[in-house]
C-alpha cells in the first residue's frame, strides 16, 4: 500500500495513561479508532513533544484515567480522590492549551478527558459523587444507564465517581436522568466534544462507535482543508 493511500486515513493521537514507570492504554480506544477508519497513534505524556504531536495528528482523543489534581485550580483534593500522575496532567493541560491555538484539530475527551476539558474551560468539578448524589452508584464500575440530549438518547457504559458541576465556557449537550452532566461541546469549533461515558466500551452505536466515526470525519475534513 502506498504512503499516499495510507495517509488518507486520519491519524488520531490517543493520550496514554501513566502507571508507575509505564505508559499504558486500554486497547479498546485504538480498536474503535481503527474500526471508525482512523489510524491510532499513542501519545506518551512528554510535554516537550506537544507541538510535534499535533503536527503528526489529524485529531486527538483525551482518554480516561484517575482524578484531576485540583490544587492546580486552587481547590483541595477530596480525601477519597485518586490523583492522576502529575506529569500526565501537566502534559494534557499543555495539550489543551496548544489545541486552543489550533482550533481546527478535532478533539474527543472521554471521562477524565472531558473533566479536564471542562476544568480548562473554567468549569467546576464534584470530586466525589457519593457525597452529593444518592444515585452515584449508577455511574460507577461499568454500570449501563441512559442519557438524553443533543447527543441523542441511549444506554452508555459509565465508570466515574467525579463529574462536572458546570462546564465553564463549554455547553452541556447531554445529561443522565439524575442530572449528571454527560457531554459538553464548544460551539465555536468544528468538533470539540467531551463525554463522561466510555464510548469505546458502549454498545449503543450512536453513542459508541459513531462518536469515533464523527471524529474521523471531522479529522478528514480538517486535514483536507489544511492541505488545500
Measured CA to CA, the distance from residue 113 to residue 108 in angstroms comes to 8
* Residue 44 CA: distances (Å) to CA of 25, 28, 164, 224: 10, 17, 26, 26
| DSSP line for the chain | --HHHHHTSPEEEEEPEEETTEEE--HHHHHHHHHTT-EEEEE---GGGHHHHHHH-SEEEE---SB--GGGGT-PPPTT--BPPHHHHHHHHHHHHHHHH-TTS-EEEETHHHHHHHHHTT-EEES-HHHH-TTGGGGSTTEEEEEEETT--EEEEE--S-EEEE-TTSEEEEE-TT--EEEEE-TTSSSEEEESS-GGG--SGGGTHHHHHHHHHHHHHHHHHHH-
Give the catalytic positions in this structure. 111, 198, 200
Measured CA to CA, the distance from residue 203 to residue 21 in angstroms comes to 33
Cell of 211: 462518536
Amino acid at each position: 500500500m502506498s504512503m499516499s493511500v495510507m495517509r488518507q486515513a486520519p491519524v488520531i493521537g490517543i493520550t496514554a495513561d501513566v502507571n508507575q514507570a509505564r505508559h499504558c492504554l486500554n486497547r479498546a480506544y485504538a480498536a474503535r479508532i481503527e474500526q471508525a477508519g482512523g489510524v491510532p497513534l499513542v501519545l506518551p505524556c512528554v510535554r516537550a513533544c506537544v507541538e510535534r504531536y499535533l503536527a503528526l495528528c489529524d485529531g486527538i482523543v483525551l482518554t480516561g484515567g484517575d482524578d484531576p489534581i485540583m490544587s492546580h485550580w486552587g481547590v483541595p483534593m477530596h480525601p477519597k480522590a485518586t490523583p492522576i500522575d502529575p506529569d500526565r496532567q501537566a502534559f494534557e493541560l499543555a495539550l489543551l492549551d496548544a489545541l486552543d491555538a489550533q482550533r481546527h484539530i478535532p478533539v474527543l475527551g472521554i471521562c477524565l478527558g472531558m473533566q479536564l476539558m471542562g476544568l480548562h474551560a473554567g468549569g467546576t468539578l464534584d470530586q466525589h459523587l457519593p457525597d452529593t448524589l444518592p444515585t452515584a452508584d449508577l455511574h460507577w464500575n461499568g454500570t449501563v444507564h441512559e442519557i438524553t440530549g443533543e447527543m441523542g438518547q441511549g444506554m452508555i457504559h459509565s465508570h466515574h465517581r467525579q463529574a462536572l458541576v458546570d462546564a465553564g465556557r463549554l455547553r452541556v449537550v447531554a445529561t443522565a436522568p439524575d442530572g449528571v452532566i454527560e457531554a459538553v461541546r464548544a460551539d465555536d469549533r468544528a468538533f470539540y466534544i467531551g463525554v463522561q461515558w466510555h464510548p469505546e466500551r458502549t454498545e449503543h452505536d450512536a453513542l459508541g462507535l459513531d462518536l469515533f466515526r464523527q471524529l474521523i470525519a471531522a479529522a478528514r475534513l480538517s486535514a483536507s482543508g489544511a492541505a488545500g
